[in-house]
Amino acid sequence: MPINILMPALSPTMEKGNLAKWLKKEGDKVKSGDVIAEIETDKATMEVEAVDEGTIAKILVPEGTQDVPVNNVIAVLAGDGEDVKAAASGAAGAAPPKPAAAEAPAPKPAATPGPAASPAPAPAPVAAAAPPPAAAQANGHGRIFSSPLARRLAKEAGIDLSRIVGSGPHGRIIAHDVEEAKSGKGLKAPAAAPAAGPSLAPSMSDKQILSLFEPGSYEIIPHDGMRRTIAQRLTASVQNVPHFYLTIDCDIGRLLDAREQINAAAPKDKEKKPLYKLSVNDFVIKAMAVALQQIPNCNVSWTEGGMVKHKHSDIGVAVAMPGGLITPIIRKAETKSLSTISNEMKDFAARARSRKLKPEEYQGGTTAVSNLGMYGIKDFTAVINPPHATILAVGTSEERAVVREGKIEIANMMSVTLSCDHRAIDGALGAELIGAFKRLIENPVMMMV
């Protein structure tokens, strides 16, 4: 029997991947453990190994193909002793059928409630998946029943589905109803606005946005998987996580002196290069890790079932890369020396920019640090990346005039802002955490105790 090679799930959240490169071609023999392809996820490029022995009979998904769903058949392997040509000829049946583009006949009543019964591609029902409150009340069922084609036509025409009278089974709106509505037929009167409660303005469609600009004055750069994932996760974060922010100024004069002394005393390798070179960010990571141990009720993740209280401080650190960013994680950072943290971060940053990180190196964590100090940013607020309950935004260090005992002095100051998930951390608790961080960053010797 031919063996189907499936698009693997390289992380728990992966739904699609890009088939970047085939390292084997049709007719090549492979054995278990051979690397046969490279798959690009939203964060990294991963190698895929064969789990069976045999001959590549047919490649169904060519390299360069994007957004291949997990568990789709990407190739067929002929087992030992099996006819390769026969396996290849039968491979066409292994490819999943494409959804029909035309509008399907109206389904039976039992199949109408919900997008799950619709044969259309996934993006089509999104616009109707969350109808406005007025529309939900209009049909008495909390949902507008409509065909995928009708939804698309109504969206293109800018017509609210809740105003269209459906002529299909059980009042289902079909394409003909939308065409009638374009000419003003079969339209209900606009529903009255709710008496109270906030309302969200609908986001503009691609067509509406592009209509604001002169044709030829722009180019469209398609989103890659990373950009889409960042957009989805951070939009969900600001919508679902109640953020509040705490900003504090830190005097890092002692830290800068300690950093200079430690770097000057760093041991050297055979080429007389220092084995490590500490940055301010290395101290920030260590201080945040120790602060979470001192204020353990902040080292948490919110879940509906209960608060997840972590034993270790796993610190994610935002690293900029082409097309987005990624947060590799320093595990058990509270137990590691500054030199170890520094060398781990250098390795992570280099591999992150070449998309060579493994999923376990950037997934999870208990908090994160985002540092824009190197760009001269004084202070900013960062968006929490669930399941974290906090994220620390670090600004630049600069000389400022400060008043001490009635005298004006010059000090090296750094502003940091802690974003907190108010479901898990209250204001006073968050203040304790950023206060602990300030004490540690201003007195770096305390991180070693």
Q: In what helix (H) or strand (E) does residue 54 lie, and over which residues does it extend?
A: strand 54-59
Say which residues have a Cβ less than 8 Å from residue 246's Cβ, sequence separation at least 6: 417, 418, 420, 427, 430, 431, 434
Name 237's Cβ contacts closer than 8 Å, sequence gap at least 6.
383, 384, 385, 386
CB neighbours of 165 closer than 8 A, spacing ≥ 6? Answer: 171, 177, 186, 187, 188
Phi-psi region of 193 (alpha: psi -120 to 50; beta: other; left: phi over 0): beta
Q: Considering only CA atoms, which of 41, 79, 65, 427 is closest in space to residue 247?
A: 427
C-alpha distance across the termini of the chain, in Å: 63
Do 147 and 172 contact (CB within 8 A), yes or no? yes
Alpha helices (runs of H) in 241-319, residue ranges in sequence order: 253-264, 280-294
Q: What amino acid positions are annotated as catalytic residues?
A: 422
Pair of tokens at residue 141: 């069922």
CA distance 92 to 75: 10
Distance CA 180, CA 202 (A): 24
444 neighbors 254 (Cβ within 8 angstroms): yes
Q: Which helix (H) or strand (E) is 352 found in, with range?
A: helix 338-353
